[in-house]
Amino acid sequence: MNQLTIIKVGGKIVEDPESLKTLLNNFALIAGNKILIHGGGRSATDIGEKLGIETKMIDGRRITDRETLKVITMVYAGLINKNIVAQLQAMRLDAVGLTGADMNLILSSQRPVESIDYGYVGDIKDVNVPVLAELLEQDYIPVLAPITHNGKGQLLNTNADTIAAEVAKALAYTFNVRLVYCFEKRGVLLNENDENSIIKELDRELFERYKQKGIIKSGMIPKLENAFRAIAAGVKEIIITCAEDMNSGKGTFISNK
């Protein structure tokens, strides 16, 4: 099976021109097929604010009303996605920027209202493996914005970590998939103030223990839940690290023990 590297990068990295440049330089060095999945929440919050649209977050998830959906569609699928594509093209990497609506790539359903109404937020139902595999075979580099659709004309805001995990899982039957979650830190840390306290390997048991102790908390919990689901579903390697260490083999490796 061919190698496929899926890189997920958070908003902070893609929104700063300097860190974006570092990221794309490292991304260019990856051999074989690759996919880039990006966030962009900070810009969305910033531009939303300027447009007088208040950002509401619950547990790190954005409440997406109709106006907020417009903002994230502009920022994720437009501003951030197309700038990344143009810069990859400048490096002679044949990128194509897509949402889940394009080519019907990722179908989702609007999250049902239980205790919280998240609004236009999508839970992934299906990843279009043949179409993604065909793009990769043709040596395109898909750059995915964290927006999906319900197949009935509605765009839906969808967590980029989850998209990365679901795309990795879906392609694990066709490729040897390596999934790298890039964020600001050099890995999952035992002590959030010590960049050298990286947890080298994390299995479910250790994760549960650290979670109970409060060492692993907030946004890292759903990220790791995604990672454990993906490794259990056949993704070959999952690393949580910073953009600089993307190709260095440093960071926190997710174990399927």
Beta carbon of residue 72, minimum distance to a second copy (angstroms, whole number): 9
Beta carbon of residue 73, minimum distance to a second copy (angstroms, whole number): 5
CA nearest to 172, candidates 108, 239, 234, 104: 234
Q: Does 147 bind a second copy (CB under 8 A)?
A: yes
State which of residues 7, 23, 36, 85 lies at the interface with a second copy (CB under 8 A): 85
Q: Does 23 bind a second copy (CB under 8 A)?
A: no
Tokens of 63: 């409440």
CA nearest to 246, candidates 154, 182, 202: 182
Q: Provide the residue type at 176 as one letter.
A: N
Q: Is the Cβ–Cβ distance between 251 and 245 less than 8 Å? A: yes
State which of residues 103, 129, 206, 221 lies at the interface with a second copy (CB under 8 A): 103
Q: Does 28 bind a second copy (CB under 8 A)?
A: no
Enclosing H/E stretch for 35: strand 33-38
Nearer to a second copy, 21 or 200 (CB): 21
Residue 166, judged by CB atoms within 10 A of its CB (0-12, 13-18, 19+), counts as buried
State which of residues 18, 29, 31, 52 lies at the interface with a second copy (CB under 8 A): 52
CA nearest to 172, candidates 133, 123, 228: 133
Q: Is the Cβ–Cβ distance between 171 and 133 less than 8 Å? A: yes
State which of residues 3, 12, 47, 203 lies at the interface with a second copy (CB under 8 A): 47
Q: Which stretch binds a second copy (CB under 8 A): 146-154, 182-190, 201-209, 214-222?
A: 146-154
Within residues 179-208, the interface with a second copy by CB under 8 A covers none
Scanning the structure block, which residue is given the tokens 């097929």?
Answer: 33
Q: Does 129 bind a second copy (CB under 8 A)?
A: no
Nearer to a second copy, 43 or 226 (CB): 43
CA nearest to 179, candidates 234, 104, 101: 234
Coil/strand/helix, residue 2: strand
Q: Does 152 bind a second copy (CB under 8 A)?
A: yes
State which of residues 101, 168, 180, 227 lies at the interface with a second copy (CB under 8 A): 101
Nearer to a second copy, 140 or 185 (CB): 140
- 143 strand-pairing partners: 36, 97
- Dump the DSSP string for 10-34: -HHHHHSHHHHHHHHHHHHH--SEE
CA nearest to 136, candidates 163, 84, 98, 101: 98
Beta carbon of residue 29, minimum distance to a second copy (angstroms, whole number): 18
State which of residues 63, 79, 129, 221 lies at the interface with a second copy (CB under 8 A): 79
Q: Which stretch binds a second copy (CB under 8 A): 2-10, 78-86, 208-216, 225-233?
A: 78-86
Q: Provide the residue type at 37 as one letter.
A: I
Residues at the interface with a second copy (CB under 8 A): 47, 50-52, 70, 73-79, 81-83, 85-87, 89-90, 94-99, 101-104, 134, 138, 140, 147, 149, 151-155
